[in-house]
Amino acid sequence: MGNGQKRLERGWVEVLDQAQWRLASGWAKTGADEKRLLGSRNAASAAGVHLKPTVVELLGRATAGWLQRAFQSSSSAAAAGGAVPEPAQEECPVCAYNEWDPLEEVIVGRAENACVPPFSVEIQANTFEEYWPFYQENGGKSFPEERVKKAVAEVEELCNVLRLEGVTVRRPEPIDWSFEYKTPDFTSSGMYAAMPRDILMVVGNEIIEAPMAWRARFFEYRAYRPLMKEYFRKGAKWTTAPKPTMADELYDQEYNLRTAEDRQKLTVQGKFVTTEYEPCFDAADFIRAGRDVFAQRSQVTNYMGIEWMRRHLAPTYKVHTLSFDDPNPMHIDATFNIIGPGLVLSNPVLPCHQIEMFKKASWTIVEPPLPMMPDDHPLWLGSKWLSMNVLMLDEKRVMVDTNETSIHKMFEDLGIKPIKVSMRHANSLGGGLHCYTTDVRRRGTLQSYF
């Protein structure tokens, strides 16, 4: 063979290899590359060049032979009565569509190592003025030790009662929250992992990790990360919302300098200490009722955060924005708590502006009685209305605070059995039974209630 003939053959081999590699790597989206490959080999034969099989052709033949043998082996096994094994399909460990289907698994937070958040602008906007000196003096330190011990004991009892009611209980990792950390945008220390409802939300078979809005809670997700990885490995869909930088621009630095009257006017306009600089939200500002999810603009959840959730959950779920006569909203479940199909607790002193949509859908609106918490009980975060921050075990069982006897009667009148556990000292850290838990799995199906 002359040198010219060798160069010609090498050229055709390169053409064929390029065409076949495109086919093998999945680049060819139509039959065009296959036609070019066939045309190239025919052209080579017409030119008198006899080509050896290329690497890709040999690989293709080997693969085809392996597939044929595998098929024959499987067919023989089937003919002999042996079953062809299929991958095991495990039930997804994460699934919940509402707040009341039978509860099977729940995450309960930890009050251990709870620390007072540094007194930054977003903390000041979310706390009562009478407690500002407490934050200024104790920011970065532990909450009062005796109170924390009592809160820990109450949360442990909550876990015990849940187990007795047949619910699997999972816990976040204990972490030392006192360490100071620094990002390119801010410096802070941590707070706690007491309220999983604030950071985690299950919608269907997906668990969504909220970005949060307080700098002291920036790294709170770390306590739940082992659980998230476990659920993911077992088949759950795991989504982390965009993490905000929490730069100064996310907060209205002048917010706390305004008078109460001016802040009330801003509330009417839907403006709070968090700006629209970037998306932020706490999961506790959302509540589920099948295909409908309800959210509120609050001190920790902005419209960009609600819009992110709306786009993320569409088209299966519809996100509605609610508003209330609340000058300082933070977390919807002590203001508007959906407890059953067509049944909602609505705070009588913080009425919902969109309540007519529920009435038109023939929902039952129940106004809970006034809370029974004494005025002198320390409440560094949250409000007395944590009395209505209840956890439904199913449509006929509800977990309530032992001390709130008036709400026990209300539930009994509704045909719902109160399961009682004391949360008084746990309340001091800013949460009730709904806050201290995130329902991971409820036994039910996706339905529409509107």
Which positions are catalytic?
A: 282, 331, 435
Q: Give 61's contacts (C-beta < 8 A, 6+ positions apart).
A: 53
Alpha carbon distance 245, 186 (integer Å): 9
Q: What angle do CA 68, 72, 77 make, to 5 degrees?
A: 150
Query: How many C-beta atoms lie closer than 10 Å to residue 283's C-beta?
Result: 26
Q: Identify whether the C-beta of residue 98 lies closer than 8 Å to the C-beta of residue 444.
A: yes
For residue 311, the Cα-to-chain-centroid distance in whole angstroms is: 15
Measured in degrees and rounded to the nearest 5, phi and psi for residue 261 equal -65, -45
Alpha carbon distance 345, 368 (integer Å): 6
3-state secondary structure at position 359: helix
The amino acid that residue 76 corresponds to is S
Residue 97's region, left for phi above 0, alpha for psi from -120 to 50, else beta, is alpha
- Burial group, residue 351, by CB count within 10 angstroms (0-12, 13-18, 19+): middle
Q: Give 443's contacts (C-beta < 8 A, 6+ positions apart).
A: 101, 102, 104
Query: How many C-beta atoms lie closer than 10 Å to residue 419's C-beta?
Result: 19
Query: Could you tell me whether strands 397-401 and 391-394 are parallel, antiparallel, or unpaired per DSSP bridges?
Result: antiparallel
3-state secondary structure at position 442: strand
Q: DSSP assignment of 395-407, as one string?
A: TTEEEEETT-HHH
- What tokens were used for 104? 């099977």
